[in-house]
């Protein structure tokens, strides 16, 4: 399988297959603990979102949403299925699933969505819909 090379902020090259196995979730970029923040114009910083980390991918026309631990999440957030129209095939976005209530992110509302009953999930997706905030 051909490989491409890309550079991370550390400037170290990383090899990655050109074609991803659709049965394996796209791996998220994890934060790294450092003593001092890097300086310079090449760095950008993101806020800490109060939600669930999610990898949204369109694998051959099938939308998937994975947790950072490779657990499927789309069944808990059916309102995000409409994003399939916006995401080209064979692509992935790294981001955060969030619920906003009254102008504030509500992590407690996020936790109520992880419920085994599909009827409850569908009701809550209408009452307190989640959003996907993409950052990578």
Active-site amino acid positions? 48
62-65 long-range contacts (CB < 8 A, ≥24 apart) are 62/22, 63/87, 64/25, 65/97, 65/132
Strands 62-66 and 104-105: unpaired
Contact 91, 44 (CB under 8 A): no
As a whole number of angstroms, the distance between CA 74 and CA 5 comes to 31
């Amino acid at each position: 399988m051909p490989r491409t090379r890309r550079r991370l902020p550390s400037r170290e090259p990383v090899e990655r297959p050109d074609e991803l196995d659709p049965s394996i979730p796209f791996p998220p970029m994890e934060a790294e603990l450092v003593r001092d923040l890097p300086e310079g114009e090449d760095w950008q910083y993101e806020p800490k979102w109060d939600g669930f980390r999610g990898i949204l991918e369109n694998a051959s026309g099938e939308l998937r949403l994975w947790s950072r631990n490779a657990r499927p999440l789309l069944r808990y957030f059916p309102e995000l299925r409409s994003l399939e129209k916006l995401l080209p095939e064979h692509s992935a976005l790294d981001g955060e699933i969030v619920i906003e209530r009254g102008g504030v992110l509500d992590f407690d509302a996020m936790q109520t969505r992880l419920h085994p009953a599909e009827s409850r999930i569908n009701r809550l997706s209408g009452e307190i819909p989640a959003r996907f905030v993409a950052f990578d």
